[in-house]
């Protein structure tokens, strides 16, 4: 059997999932009637945001005559094979053979965003080839480039695919030139398709069969399979997606996860075609799913190697690292003025449930003087944080208050004996005393931006303001350029993307990858309200920006904290030194104009409500601070 | 937001009691209500700041409404005890939007069912709220024939742009015309409503509005700080960031400026937002604030009688449909309660320049509990020592500084009545 394992990679909204669905249809794995849009994405959220969060793998059968010219390609031949790829009758087999050789195409869907780079790279490791999809109306975008590099690094054979050629504004030739310019793919090798109409699909399938390499044969008799994804299913527990590189596994085998060292018994093996379809075994070169009574995702590590417990391989497949959380924030249950809302227990339940099928975020219970009990959570990146929050609200049914995100810092301190100790902190409140700190390192990203040419100056300025270091500028097309910068993650987690979209009227795209930690002059800024430091408002920032940030936060707080009977000083301080101050004046006016005609009850109830309302503020010292004030620091826009 | 969760009670008869608190036989003379409020719910357009009950474009329902209102007035009339009404106030909505034939029927009913002799002689006060652009000479003439002797005109501002912000659709020029028409019709007392602290309004703009209002020579002016009521279009627009609310300091400056400017013209602040030449106060509103009794008719109208407070159902359809021997459905009924009554008396009294009769108040407090008396005393002492309240003979009244924080004082007084 001819096997081809490949992924589809693309910038967001360039039509990756539509193309996947169209491939399923073109190979008759799914009838048009059955085809839902974006069949591979299973979660509502993925559908709505148009991104794929969890990878899936689908196997289809396809008949192809190697080297057939385009006018010989068959488009409407219905493969008379069952889901396991065998013919029902000898006659059918003979007849089918006349339509070409049988190919097993395994395609592996990848997450569509750089926060999930690790998962993308695992998915790519399971493949020999990749389809790089570019929207013919949008051209090469930042994520196109980042994804292409990931595939190139994995030594994959790449087929450039230019999609949406049915649209009136399509410029496929121009986009092919961009691909050649930026990534070096010969323009004439690009396949033009419309995933929407099916145009170009036969050529694409033929290219997949002809151009992508077959899997390498086993290098050892022992079984080795790469876990490239895992999802949690309420009924079956964890479903593991696996790509076999050596040997084979079968139902009933006792397997061992080489990284974690745990063993499980296989209860089920299969392939999605795209309906789940059981198979007795999976052999080298194949992909499929495995169920083995694994209860939680914490028991599985994407990137781990599966081998047989009885005849284990001596070496795992290369490259397994645990996912690393780079962005942190707190979630607290949101309550309204009347203390109605979700409880801490409800939030805990929702977070624990979500963690069953997203093992990439971490959480631990915290208590804040001002916001009560909540969780400090770690995420792979910004989008991941947004997704988790949305899923908590949508699937968990809880409303959350989110605090300002921070990044993870590596802090070197000098111990009592003079020895240097490095620790990771991701909460400004945990930062040790300034006196013992030798060095603070922060995560640095390589940020790739593709922009209209006339906006380059403005974006350069933005990147410089964000402590960016210019790396390169690449010609993309007559109208667009690609910029590369190294920028601290902390500088892009707030509103960098919004600023980019604003400056470029939505035409600029960016992607980033964390490339390491570097030291800089970082300081902790304390925020004092009426003389009391408020931990939940402390932040770590660059020394040169500390004054500006401090002033910004104080000005936001001034707008959020109601006036009291006394004047309230707001201060930002580094160590004991005040770097910015604001004052909330004592209130002057507390009167409602109307007495509501004869509706005296209403006036009374209104005053009574205000009288109660006062008790529901968060108290810091003698100052009442509304919940929203803690969110206000998220907003770094100038007043 | 109105609370609609309470069950409707027909005929002002609270559930669980057999006796209605408003009856169809006259009460004892001492218990009679001497004031009446009537609510006309129609508007040609819902102004964005307004949260009074009103409905737009229902000419087809005016006839049904008037018939129903007349039945209600006849039903409640005996509670005036056959005594002359002292104050009558028809508000809205936009009462001047009601058709002339309906006005005729309404005024005739009032003459038949109530004793309006004090209105006729001018001792009593009969006010109708008017919109400057619908207060026609014909209507004003008709009102005068029905003993109306006071109009309250919604000017709000004389500045076209600020009127647009409020979504008020009248022409500023129509205000002097309407006041002139009222005078020509023989309606001797007029009041103007103004709104200030409108987004974008400066102190100078406000001054021009005050000058324009004073030039009309009315004996009474109401000047309200723009209030963002929940559920109004104005509040929604504010939260969408369509405009910026006036700064608290500017609002406070305006609040003080209005009083200074008007008092120099002889109009004295006698309530937080109300100014009048001596003797020109709105007696009907004073009845509310002094916790007198009054009857109420029309959807959403609130009444106070025999210690009960209630509100007529605030939805026109239910108002039209509900009928128990002429009485309508009510909501938010509050039975007599000495503690509540004391709180309300303190709350509205402290908003008046005449203030509260301290001895009477403390005696009422003492009757409920000595603790309440002590707490109320303590609050009053505290604000007197900070010069927010001042003792004038036997009364305690807010100072100009006190008016600025009168909600806070009222909250503290209300809290004091919780004690014991």
What's the pLDDT score for residue A616? Answer: 43
The 10s digit of each residue's pLDDT in A553-586 is 898 888 888 888 788 899 999 988 999 999 988 8
Element (H, E) at A595: none
Nearest CB neighbour to B404, from listed A591, A598, A610: A591
Distances (CA, A) of B375 to A614, B383, B390: 19, 13, 18
pLDDT confidence bin for B332, thresholds 50/70/90: confident
Distances (CA, A) of A609 to A568, A591, B256, B311: 24, 15, 27, 20
Closest residue by Cα to residue A26 from A70, A61, A72, A69: A61
The 10s digit of each residue's pLDDT in A217-269 is 988 999 999 998 888 877 788 889 999 999 999 999 999 999 888 999 999 99
The 10s digit of each residue's pLDDT in B175-190 is 999 999 999 999 999 9
Which range is least confidently modeled, A38-52, A192-206, A529-543, B168-182? Answer: A38-52
The 10s digit of each residue's pLDDT in A110-156 is 765 656 667 777 788 889 999 999 999 999 988 888 888 889 888 99
| Half-sphere exposure at residue A468, Cβ-oriented, CA atoms within 13 angstroms | 24
For an interface test with B, the pick among A598, A605, A635, A637 (most B C-beta atoms closer than 10 Å) comes out as A598
What's the pLDDT score for residue A46? Answer: 47
> Could you tell me how many CB contacts below 8 A there are between chain A and chain B?
94
d(CA B376, CA B370): 10
Q: Are A14 and A138 in contact (CB under 8 A)?
A: yes
Under DSSP, is residue B62 helix (H, G, I), strand (E, B) or coil?
Answer: helix
Burial class (CB in 10 A: 0-12, 13-18, 19+), B326: middle
Under DSSP, is residue B99 helix (H, G, I), strand (E, B) or coil?
Answer: coil
Residues in chain B: 420
Distance from CA of B288 to the nearest CA of A (A): 6
d(CA A204, CA A190): 10
Place of tokens 């604000």: B383
Q: Are B104 and B94 in contact (CB under 8 A)?
A: no
Under DSSP, is residue A352 helix (H, G, I), strand (E, B) or coil?
Answer: helix
Q: Between these two residues, A631 and A268, which has the higher pLDDT value?
A: A268
Average pLDDT score over chain A: 82
The DSSP secondary-structure symbol of A468 reads: -
d(CA B55, CA B58): 7
Chain A contact set for B407 (CB, 8 A): 590-592, 607, 610
d(CA B156, CA B175): 10
Q: Are B332 and B375 in contact (CB under 8 A)?
A: no
User: Both tokens of residue B418?
Assistant: 């919780």
What's the pLDDT score for residue B64? Answer: 92
Q: Between these two residues, B119 and B329, which has the higher pLDDT value?
A: B119
What's the pLDDT score for residue A430? Answer: 85
Q: Are A429 and A367 in contact (CB under 8 A)?
A: no
Distances (CA, A) of A252 to A58, A290, A294, A603: 23, 11, 14, 74
Provide the H-helix boundaries in A530-621: 543-560, 600-613
d(CA B407, CA A588): 12
What's the pLDDT score for residue A52? Answer: 41
Burial class (CB in 10 A: 0-12, 13-18, 19+), A402: buried
d(CA B84, CA B80): 8
What's the pLDDT score for residue A158? Answer: 96
What's the pLDDT score for residue A546? Answer: 92
What's the pLDDT score for residue A72? Answer: 60
Q: A478 CB contacts (<8 Å, ≥6 apart)?
A: none
Q: Is B303 part of the contact surface with chain A (CB cutoff 8 Å)?
A: yes
- Ordered by where they begin, the domains of chain A are 2-211 (3.40.50.300), 224-308 (2.40.30.10), 327-402 (3.30.70.870), 409-520 (3.30.70.240), 524-632 (3.30.70.2570)
Chain A contact set for B344 (CB, 8 A): 600, 604
- Ordered by where they begin, the domains of chain B are 29-289 (3.80.30.20), 337-420 (1.10.10.920)
What's the pLDDT score for residue A113? Answer: 60
Whether the ω angle into residue A274 lies within 30 degrees of 0, i.e. cis, is yes
Average pLDDT score over chain B: 89
Q: B318 CB contacts (<8 Å, ≥6 apart)?
A: B8, B329
Under DSSP, is residue A325 helix (H, G, I), strand (E, B) or coil?
Answer: coil
Asked if A593 and B224 come within 8 Å (Cβ–Cβ), the reply is yes
Asked if A607 and B289 come within 8 Å (Cβ–Cβ), the reply is no
What's the pLDDT score for residue B13? Answer: 47
Q: Between these two residues, A56 and A33, which has the higher pLDDT value?
A: A56
Place of tokens 């961009």: A178
Distances (CA, A) of B302 to A175, B39, B228, B289, B290: 71, 9, 22, 13, 15
What's the pLDDT score for residue A73? Answer: 62
d(CA B254, CA B248): 10
Asked if B224 and A587 come within 8 Å (Cβ–Cβ), the reply is no
pLDDT above 90: percentage of residues in chain A: 35
Asked if A601 and B332 come within 8 Å (Cβ–Cβ), the reply is yes
Chain B contact set for A561 (CB, 8 A): none
pLDDT confidence bin for A453, thresholds 50/70/90: very high
Distances (CA, A) of A130 to A107, A126, A208, B48, B268: 9, 11, 9, 59, 83
Q: A31 CB contacts (<8 Å, ≥6 apart)?
A: A25
What's the pLDDT score for residue B10? Answer: 42
Q: Is B67 part of the contact surface with chain A (CB cutoff 8 Å)?
A: no
Under DSSP, is residue A95 helix (H, G, I), strand (E, B) or coil?
Answer: helix
d(CA A319, CA A296): 22
Q: B193 CB contacts (<8 Å, ≥6 apart)?
A: B152, B153, B154, B155, B156, B221, B222, B223, B224
Q: What is the dihedral of CA B188, B224, B137, B295, to 10 degrees?
A: -70
d(CA A159, CA A7): 10
User: Both tokens of residue A225?
Assistant: 């399979």
The DSSP secondary-structure symbol of B42 reads: E
**Is the predicted pLDDT of residue B58 greater than 80, yes or no?**
no
Distance from CA of A366 to the nearest CA of B (A): 32
Chain A contact set for B272 (CB, 8 A): 591, 593, 595
Closest residue by Cα to residue B85 from B284, B297, B312, B326: B284
The 10s digit of each residue's pLDDT in A499-522 is 888 898 878 888 888 889 999 999
User: Both tokens of residue B363?
Assistant: 């005696």
Work out the average pLDDT over A207-218: 93
User: Both tokens of residue B349?
Assistant: 């009294």
Q: Is B296 part of the contact surface with chain A (CB cutoff 8 Å)?
A: yes
What order do you get walking across the sheet with A101-109 strand by strand?
A57-64, A101-109, A2-10, A129-135, A157-163, A191-192
What's the pLDDT score for residue B256? Answer: 94
What's the pLDDT score for residue A471? Answer: 95
Distance from CA of A134 to the nearest CA of B (A): 38
Q: Classify each residue of A464-492 as buried b or exposed e, where b means 16 or more C-beta atoms within 10 Å of its C-beta.
A: eebbbeeeeeeebbeebbbbbbbbbbbbb
The 10s digit of each residue's pLDDT in A389-439 is 888 888 888 888 888 788 989 999 988 888 889 999 888 888 888 788 899
Provide the H-helix boundaries in A195-326: 201-211
Chain A contact set for B37 (CB, 8 A): 597-598
Q: Are B262 and B275 in contact (CB under 8 A)?
A: yes
Work out the average pLDDT over B284-296: 94
Question: Could you count the other beta carbons within 10 Å of the beta carbon of residue B285?
Answer: 26
**Is the predicted pLDDT of residue A467 greater than 80, yes or no?**
yes
Distance from CA of B322 to the nearest CA of A (A): 21
What's the pLDDT score for residue A81? Answer: 47
Pairing mode, strands A532-533 and A522-529? antiparallel
Question: Phi and psi of A429, rounded to 5°?
Answer: -65, -25
Closest residue by Cα to residue B291 from B311, B270, B273, B306: B306
For an interface test with B, the pick among A558, A584, A589 (most B C-beta atoms closer than 10 Å) comes out as A589
Q: Are A470 and A463 in contact (CB under 8 A)?
A: yes
What order do you get walking across the sheet with A287-291 strand by strand?
A263-265, A254-257, A305-308, A224-233, A237-246, A287-291, A268-272, A276-278
pTM for this model (two decimals):
0.57
Under DSSP, is residue A168 helix (H, G, I), strand (E, B) or coil?
Answer: coil
The 10s digit of each residue's pLDDT in A69-115 is 655 665 444 444 444 445 545 555 566 666 778 888 988 877 656 56
Instruction: Give chain A's end-to-end CA distance (angstroms, integer).
Output: 66
Asked if B271 and A595 come within 8 Å (Cβ–Cβ), the reply is yes
Whether the predicted interface score ipTM is above 0.85: no
**Is the predicted pLDDT of residue B111 greater than 90, yes or no?**
yes
């Amino acid at each position: 059997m001819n096997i081809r394992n490949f992924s589809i990679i693309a910038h967001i909204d360039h039509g990756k999932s539509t193309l996947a669905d169209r491939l399923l249809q073109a190979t008759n794995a799914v009838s048009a009637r059955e085809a839902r849009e974006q069949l591979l994405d299973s979660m509502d959220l993925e559908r709505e945001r148009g991104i794929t969060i969890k990878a899936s793998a689908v196997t289809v059968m396809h008949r192809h005559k190697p080297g057939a010219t385009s006018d010989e390609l068959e488009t409407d031949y219905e493969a008379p094979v069952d889901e396991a790829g065998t013919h029902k009758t000898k006659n059918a087999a003979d007849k089918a053979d006349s339509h070409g050789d049988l190919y097993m195409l395994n395609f592996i869907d990848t997450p569509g965003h750089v926060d999930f780079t690790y998962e993308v790279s695992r998915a790519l490791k399971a493949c020999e080839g990749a389809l790089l999809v570019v929207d013919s109306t949008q051209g090469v975008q930042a994520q196109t480039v980042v994804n292409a590099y990931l595939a190139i690094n994995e030594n994959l054979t790449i087929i450039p695919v230019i999609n949406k050629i049915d649209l009136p504004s399509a410029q496929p030739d121009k986009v092919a030139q961009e691909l050649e310019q930026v990534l070096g793919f010969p323009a004439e090798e690009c396949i033009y398709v419309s995933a929407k109409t099916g145009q170009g699909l036969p050529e694409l399938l033929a290219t997949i069969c002809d151009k992508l390499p077959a899997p390498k044969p086993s290098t050892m008799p022992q079984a080795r399979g790469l876990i490239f994804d895992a999802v949690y299913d309420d009924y079956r527990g964890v479903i593991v997606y696996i790509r076999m590189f050596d040997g084979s596994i079968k139902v009933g085998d006792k397997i061992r996860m080489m990284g974690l060292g745990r063993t499980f018994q296989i209860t089920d093996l299969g392939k999605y075609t795209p309906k789940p379809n059981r198979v007795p075994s999976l052999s080298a070169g194949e992909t499929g799913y495995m169920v083995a009574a694994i209860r939680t995702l914490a028991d599985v590590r994407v990137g781990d190697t599966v081998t047989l417990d009885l005849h284990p391989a001596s070496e795992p497949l290369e490259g397994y690292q645990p996912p690393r959380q780079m962005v942190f924030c707190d979630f607290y249950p949101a309550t309204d003025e009347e203390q109605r809302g979700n409880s801490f227990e409800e939030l805990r339940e929702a977070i624990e449930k979500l963690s069953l099928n997203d093992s990439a975020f971490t959480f631990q219970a915290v208590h804040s003087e001002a916001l009560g009990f909540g969780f400090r959570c770690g995420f792979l990146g910004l989008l991941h944080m947004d997704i988790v929050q949305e899923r908590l609200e949508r699937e968990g049914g809880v409303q959350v208050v989110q605090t300002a995100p921070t990044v993870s810092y590596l802090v070197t301190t000098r111990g009592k004996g003079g020895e240097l100790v490095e620790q990771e902190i991701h909460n400004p409140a945990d930062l040790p005393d300034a006196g013992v700190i030798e060095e603070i390192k922060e995560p640095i990203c390589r940020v790739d931006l593709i922009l209209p040419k006339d906006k380059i100056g403005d974006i350069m300025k933005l990147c410089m303001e964000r402590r960016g270091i210019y790396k390169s500028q690449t010609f993309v097309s007559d109208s667009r350029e690609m910029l590369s910068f190294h920028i601290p993650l902390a500088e892009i987690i707030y509103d960098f993307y919004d600023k980019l979209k604003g400056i470029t009227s939505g035409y600029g795209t960016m992607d980033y990858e964390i490339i390491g930690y570097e030291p800089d002059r970082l300081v902790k800024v304390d925020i004092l309200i009426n003389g009391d430091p408020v931990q939940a408002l402390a932040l770590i920032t660059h020394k040169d920006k500390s004054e500006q940030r401090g002033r910004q936060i104080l000005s936001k707080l001034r707008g959020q904290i109601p006036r009291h009977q006394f004047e309230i000083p707001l201060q930002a301080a580094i160590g004991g030194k005040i770097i910015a101050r604001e004052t909330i004046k004592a209130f002057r006016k507390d009167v409602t104009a109307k007495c509501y005609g004869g509706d005296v009850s209403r006036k009374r109830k209104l005053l009574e409500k205000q009288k109660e309302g006062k008790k529901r503020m968060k108290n810091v010292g003698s100052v009442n601070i509304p919940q929203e004030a803690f969110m206000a620091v998220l907003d770094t826009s100038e007043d | 937001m109105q609370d609609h969760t309470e069950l409707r009670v027909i005929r002002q008869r609270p559930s669980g009691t057999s006796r209605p608190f408003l009856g169809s036989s006259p009460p004892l003379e001492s218990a009679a209500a001497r004031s009446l409020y009537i609510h006309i719910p129609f508007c040609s357009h819902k102004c964005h700041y307004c949260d009074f009950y009103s409905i737009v474009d229902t000419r087809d329902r005016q006839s049904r409404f008037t018939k129903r209102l007349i039945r209600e007035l006849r039903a409640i009339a005996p509670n005036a005890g056959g005594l002359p009404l002292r104050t009558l106030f028809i508000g809205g909505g936009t009462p001047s939007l009601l058709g002339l034939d309906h006005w005729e029927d309404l005024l005739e009913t009032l003459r038949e069912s109530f004793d309006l002799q004090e209105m006729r002689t001018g001792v009593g006060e009969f006010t109708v709220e008017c919109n400057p652009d619908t207060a026609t000479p014909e209507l004003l003439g008709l009102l005068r024939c029905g003993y109306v002797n006071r109009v309250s005109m919604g000017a709000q501002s004389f500045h076209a742009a600020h009127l647009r912000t409020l979504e008020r659709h009248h022409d500023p020029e129509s205000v002097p015309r309407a006041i002139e028409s009222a005078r020509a019709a023989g309606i001797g007392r007029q009041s103007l409503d103004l709104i200030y602290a409108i987004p974008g309004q400066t102190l100078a703009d406000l001054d021009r509005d005050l000058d324009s209002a004073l030039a009309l020579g009315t004996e009474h002016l109401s000047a309200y700080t723009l209030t963002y009521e929940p559920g109004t279009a104005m509040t929604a627009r504010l939260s969408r960031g369509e405009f910026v609310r006036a700064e608290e300091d500017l609002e406070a400056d305006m609040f003080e400026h209005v009083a200074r400017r008007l008092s120099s013209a002889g109009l004295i602040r006698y309530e937080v937002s109300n100014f009048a030449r001596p003797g020109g106060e709105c007696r009907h509103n004073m009845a509310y604030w002094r916790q007198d009794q009054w009857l109420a008719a029309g959807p959403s109208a609130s009444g106070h009688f025999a210690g009960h407070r209630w509100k007529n159902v605030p939805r026109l359809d239910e108002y039209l449909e509900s009928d128990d021997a002429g009485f309508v459905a009510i909501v938010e009924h509050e039975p007599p309660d000495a503690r509540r009554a004391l709180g309300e008396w303190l709350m509205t009294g402290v908003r008046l320049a005449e203030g509260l009769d301290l001895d009477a108040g403390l005696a009422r407090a003492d009757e409920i509990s000595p603790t309440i008396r002590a707490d109320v005393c303590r609050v009053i002492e505290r604000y007197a020592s900070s010069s927010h309240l001042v003792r004038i003979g036997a009364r305690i009244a807010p100072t100009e500084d006190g008016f600025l924080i009168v909600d806070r004082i009222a909250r503290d007084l209300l809290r004091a009545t919780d004690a014991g």
